[in-house]
A and B are shown apart, each in its own frame.
Chain A
Amino acid sequence: MTAEQADWDALGLSPTRDADAVRRAYRARLRVVGPDRDPEGFQRLRAAYDAILAESDTAETSTMPAGDADADASLPRVLERLEAHRSAGDERGAMGVIDTALAALPPGSAALERLEDALLDDVALSRTLSTGLFRHLVMRFDWHDAQGRAARDDPERHAVLEDRLAAEDWLDALRQEAATPGGIVAAAMLASRHGETAPLPTGGLDPDTRNRARTLFGELREHGRFLLHRFDGASLARVREAVEGPPLLAEPAALPKSPPTVVLPDPAVTQRRGRVIGMVAVVLIVGGVFGKDYVQKLVFPPDSVTAPELARAELTSPTTAWLELSPEPGGTLVSWAPLIKRRRAIADLRYGANTDEPNAVMTLPENGVPLRFVAPPDLNLMTLRVRFLDGTWSEIRRYEMNGGPSGAPKR
């Protein structure tokens, strides 16, 4: 006897598509094997009933008719008014729009669900959404609930929402830490470019504080896509420098036996390169911060990753640029996006700043943080090379910026 047949037998019914008949049969059996009378028998009956209902899954949803048309008409108006308040920077007013809309719609109604879905799709994950309004939405629509409707309907969307919640919570915790006497690192990270900067001890940081800073930087990177744009890059760079010492630290990584080959650089160049490399390293940590003025609006989830085989094919194709360069008033804006997108094909990435030898190690962010930076005026050339998953090295790619290195041979 199949499991399916056993289920029908438990209900005392021959297989049918009639959901009402199934329900009636279940109720009839309940009188004999109710949860009080026969707990074991009841559990078998219930399991059979659930299995059959799941099989004819339309049975449950068909009891949810669509909502009325009136409420539908109000949805665009609500979103419009919300948008108006948001673009005017009026957080309270925006909250009021949400509250009024909620009060007009009965809980559990189809119209309310459509409003919730619209907010989830278009508002909740927008980077320009203020923290206050975000938290208000979370509270009013019960988005904390990991088993709720929002989570059931679209688990992936809800997971992104939860990530944002975690990021906001982390930022709140960081602010609290900044207010405590020991929270110097947190305070320095949160310092704004023009505001007063929290003092970092000039004699260097003790090991505990250094470790705390490293932990916080790691966490910031994890929550980066929701938070980085709220931090000031210069402040972060300052903290980083206090922790890791002055820039010359982008260690010329342990070199592989196969190419790239080792070249002893000219000492004078090394000094300058060290500075530039340091800059790049800061940028890697602070991510999109320097480029934030150029970031229009991020659509979440921003990260579409290309599958390894395709990514490799694209990377080896001469028509695929590895870096996106665009001239900006402050210098060339360099984006790592093409490489980040194809990171699944990359086992190892090396770069060189103002050198033909890409020997410095670069780690691409796992979570798809959009890394970009404005190249400082003295950065004229970047060279790149990747090692693929099978261990083979690519050719070296050269990208010139800020007019290119004077006198350097051009392709």
Chain B
Amino acid sequence: MIIGIDLGTTNSLVSIWRDGVELVPNALGEVLTPSVVSQDRTGEIVVGAAARERLSTHPELTAAAFKRDMGTARQIALGSRRFRAEELSSFVIRALRSDAEAFLGAPVEEAVITVPAYFSDAQRRATRQAGELAGLRVDRVLNEPTAAALAYGLAEPGTRPDGPVLVFDLGGGTFDVSVLEMNDGIMEVRATAGDNFLGGEDFDDAIATWFAGAAGIPLPDPLQPGPAGELLAARLRRTVEAARRRLSTAAEAEIILVLPDGAEARAVLTTAEFGRICEPLLERLRRPVARALADSRIRPDALSHVVLAGGATRMPLVRREAARLFGRLPLQRLDPDEVVARGAAVQAGLKMQAAALDDVVLTDVAPYTLGIEVSQGSGTALGRMLPVIERNTVIPVSREREVAPAADFQRAVTVRVFQGEARLVRDNIPLGEFDLALAPRRRAEQGIAVRFTYDVNGILEVSARAEADGATNRIVIRHGPDAPSPEQAEQRLAALAALKLHPREAAVNRLLLARGERLFAQALGRARTALGDAIDAFDAAMAAQEPAAIAATAAALTETMRLAEGENMP
């Protein structure tokens, strides 16, 4: 069985294809699992809702939104341990995998994982590695907006979109736009563009910054330890997020933050004010849309549908902006939180050659231009990018370009491979380089053929061949400069495997405990004492593993929490 995984910045989902799309619930019965990882005091890893609660009580042991660091060398600390983003992601995938195994009653070894369409080469490799670290074979790295289109394309004829369709996918941390041509189950991606640093989390940041100004408090620094630093920042983030959700239905939302000294900072955010502070973010939605449309050569008024995907498109503000950009109401028949995971299940079904999907064919494109560095004009100064595979070329593809050495009788050339849309390579991203030895000749007789081969998963192979003597050299760009060596990867795999994930069965109790701890941290006076006692009793019962005691103390804690929340909880 191949599972589909939507590995999101804020939430992740797992789905399967069994004569249709099914979303797999986690141990709490929910299909959305927060992409948050925490380490508890026993050293076990907690993933999901319980970890999310721990963001505001144990920020130093908890990590969120690490998808934004995929493909970088950044190390994120959980207590004394440090992890790369793909390692933290592998914990989330492990949790999703065990949810799927529990749901199917059978082991799962293969997966389709979605990535933002605008993810770079390094980010895709990191995502693939996250799957492998979780013990899965990654059959396909699928673009999220393409997945959304797959989900819509599978709807019954008559309700499914046909013709040119634009997918507007604003997730927790990334923004993608894809323009597709859909015809009777055949889906051709024409163009894709995006912004890897624009998503729902940025709207929360904007509100938090506004709130600090409006309430006259310094913006708490999540990098500073202590109650006025990371703890307060985490609580502010939580409060702000709740306010953003309230604004989806209400005209205003009050934000109250209890400061470490017990004082309260307050401010009321109206939808109008929210619109104003988010304007710079909304403005950034425009450029990827313009690029995707221009590259697809389809006019906005020729689009048959605009499809919304990604949780952040629930915001009325974003929907309004989308409607304004296209002069029409977007389609949102499928839940934007689930649509990508549904598409991942369809791709998994395609991989398993499900009979019902016989008619479905998907072609996708390369999101970035890939090329090599060449010298500029007749001079010898290097620095120009020569595109070999232009962005939005349909993949898989193999292209060749003829180049020549810069000087007569040159003994070698260095082929440097870059990704990006700038004219000069210094503004693009280096992917790798290799040398090709030459038998010295005059320039005119020294043709060099550089060939780029790009597969459906975005793996790039570059080879260069000297025409005169047939000498060749090649590299397969699987690992960027920041990626660990195979030996290091092996060691990390062993180290990660040794880390235990919290058992699924305990998920409900873990969540209850984490919520209790969060309320305890915020509560005052009598309620705080009562909560502390109830948490201790529940913790002791769990440690002793006595089912009856666990049930009883859990009920008591739930009741105490209810009272405390009613009393003085903001």
Cβ–Cβ contact A43 & B397, under 8 A: yes
Encode B376-413 as 1/0 by CB contact (under 8 A) with A.
Answer: 00000000010100110011111000000000000000
B289 at the interface (CB under 8 A from A): yes
Cβ–Cβ contact A108 & B363, under 8 A: no
Cβ–Cβ contact B301 & A109, under 8 A: yes
Q: Tell me if B's interface is mostly helix, strand, loop or mixed.
A: mixed
A106 at the interface (CB under 8 A from B): yes
Q: Using a CB-CB cutoff of 8 Å, which residues 12-44 of chain A contact chain B?
A: 27, 30-31, 34-36, 39, 42-43
Encode A50-87 as 1/0 by CB contact (under 8 A) with B.
Answer: 00000000001101110100000000000000000000
Encode A137-164 as 1/0 by CB contact (under 8 A) with B.
Answer: 0000010111111000000000000100
Q: Tell me if A's interface is mostly helix, strand, loop or mixed.
A: loop
A64 touches which of B297, B369, B455 (Cβ 8 Å): B297
Q: Using a CB-CB cutoff of 8 Å, which residues 91-149 of chain A contact chain B?
A: 102, 106-110, 112, 142, 144-149
Encode B304-329 as 1/0 by CB contact (under 8 A) with A.
Answer: 00000000000000000000011100
List residues of chain A with CB within 8 A of the CB of B364.
Answer: 35
A221 at the interface (CB under 8 A from B): no
List residues of chain A with CB within 8 A of the CB of B287.
Answer: 142
Q: Using a CB-CB cutoff of 8 Å, which residues 249-294 of chain B contact chain A?
A: 286-287, 289-291, 293-294
List residues of chain B with CB within 8 A of the CB of A42.
Answer: 363, 396
Cβ–Cβ contact A148 & B294, under 8 A: yes
A372 at the interface (CB under 8 A from B): no
Alpha-carbon separation in the docked complex, A64 to B301 (Å): 10
List residues of chain A with CB within 8 A of the CB of B286.
Answer: 102, 107
B464 at the interface (CB under 8 A from A): no
Cβ–Cβ contact A144 & B421, under 8 A: yes
Tell me which of B290, B363, B364, B396 has the highest count of chain A C-beta atoms within 10 A of its own C-beta.
Answer: B290
List residues of chain B with CB within 8 A of the CB of A67.
Answer: 299
> How many residues of A are counted as interface, with CB atoms below 8 angstroms from the partner's CB atoms?
32
Alpha-carbon separation in the docked complex, A166 to B287 (Å): 22
Cβ–Cβ contact A34 & B297, under 8 A: no
Cβ–Cβ contact B299 & A108, under 8 A: yes
Alpha-carbon separation in the docked complex, A149 to B193 (Å): 14
Given contacts A30-B186, A31-B359, A35-B362, contact A109 B421 (CB under 8 A): no
A145 touches which of B291, B302, B398 (Cβ 8 Å): B291
Cβ–Cβ contact A34 & B299, under 8 A: no
Cβ–Cβ contact B302 & A65, under 8 A: yes
Given contacts A43-B396, A162-B423, contact A65 B299 (CB under 8 A): yes
Given contacts A27-B186, A46-B397, A145-B291, contact A34 B298 (CB under 8 A): no
List residues of chain A with CB within 8 A of the CB of B422.
Answer: 144-146
Alpha-carbon separation in the docked complex, A145 to B423 (Å): 8
Alpha-carbon separation in the docked complex, A36 to B531 (Å): 56
List residues of chain B with CB within 8 A of the CB of A144.
Answer: 421-422, 427
Given contacts A31-B359, A46-B397, contact A107 B300 (CB under 8 A): yes
Cβ–Cβ contact A34 & B361, under 8 A: yes
Given contacts A107-B290, A108-B290, contact A147 B421 (CB under 8 A): yes
Alpha-carbon separation in the docked complex, A160 to B291 (Å): 21
Cβ–Cβ contact A35 & B456, under 8 A: yes
Cβ–Cβ contact A43 & B421, under 8 A: no
B462 at the interface (CB under 8 A from A): no
List residues of chain B with CB within 8 A of the CB of A108.
Answer: 289-290, 293-294, 298-300
Alpha-carbon separation in the docked complex, A31 to B394 (Å): 16
List residues of chain A with CB within 8 A of the CB of B301.
Answer: 65, 106, 109
> How many residues of B are counted as interface, with CB atoms below 8 angstroms from the partner's CB atoms?
43
Alpha-carbon separation in the docked complex, A64 to B298 (Å): 6
Given contacts A106-B327, A144-B421, A147-B390, contact A30 B363 (CB under 8 A): yes
Alpha-carbon separation in the docked complex, A34 to B394 (Å): 12
B350 at the interface (CB under 8 A from A): yes
Cβ–Cβ contact B397 & A106, under 8 A: no
B183 at the interface (CB under 8 A from A): yes
List residues of chain B with CB within 8 A of the CB of A106.
Answer: 300-301, 325-327
B346 CB to nearest A CB, Å: 12
Cβ–Cβ contact B291 & A142, under 8 A: yes
A290 CB to nearest B CB, Å: 29
B186 touches which of A31, A147, A148 (Cβ 8 Å): A31
Alpha-carbon separation in the docked complex, A64 to B294 (Å): 10
Q: Using a CB-CB cutoff of 8 Å, which residues 319-365 of chain B contact chain A?
A: 325-327, 350-351, 359, 361-364
Cβ–Cβ contact B294 & A34, under 8 A: no
A373 CB to nearest B CB, Å: 28
Cβ–Cβ contact A36 & B299, under 8 A: no
A46 touches which of B298, B359, B394 (Cβ 8 Å): B394
Alpha-carbon separation in the docked complex, A110 to B422 (Å): 25
B300 CB to nearest A CB, Å: 5
B183 touches which of A27, A65, A146 (Cβ 8 Å): A27
List residues of chain B with CB within 8 A of the CB of A149.
Answer: 294
Cβ–Cβ contact B394 & A147, under 8 A: no
Cβ–Cβ contact A39 & B361, under 8 A: no
Q: Which 6 A-B pairs have the closest CB atoms?
A: A108-B293, A107-B290, A146-B423, A34-B361, A149-B294, A107-B289
Q: Residues of A at under 8 Å CB distance from B? A: 27, 30-31, 34-36, 39, 42-43, 46, 60-61, 63-65, 67, 102, 106-110, 112, 142, 144-149, 162, 166
Q: A31-B361, A46-B394, A106-B326 are in contact. List 15 more A-B contacts (CB 8 A).
A: A30-B186, A35-B395, A39-B396, A39-B455, A64-B302, A65-B299, A102-B286, A107-B300, A108-B298, A142-B290, A146-B422, A146-B423, A147-B387, A148-B291, A162-B423
A-B contact pairs, 26 of them (CB 8 A): A30-B363, A31-B186, A31-B361, A35-B361, A35-B364, A36-B350, A36-B362, A43-B397, A60-B297, A64-B299, A64-B302, A65-B302, A106-B326, A107-B289, A107-B290, A107-B325, A108-B289, A108-B290, A108-B299, A142-B287, A144-B421, A144-B422, A145-B421, A146-B421, A147-B369, A147-B390
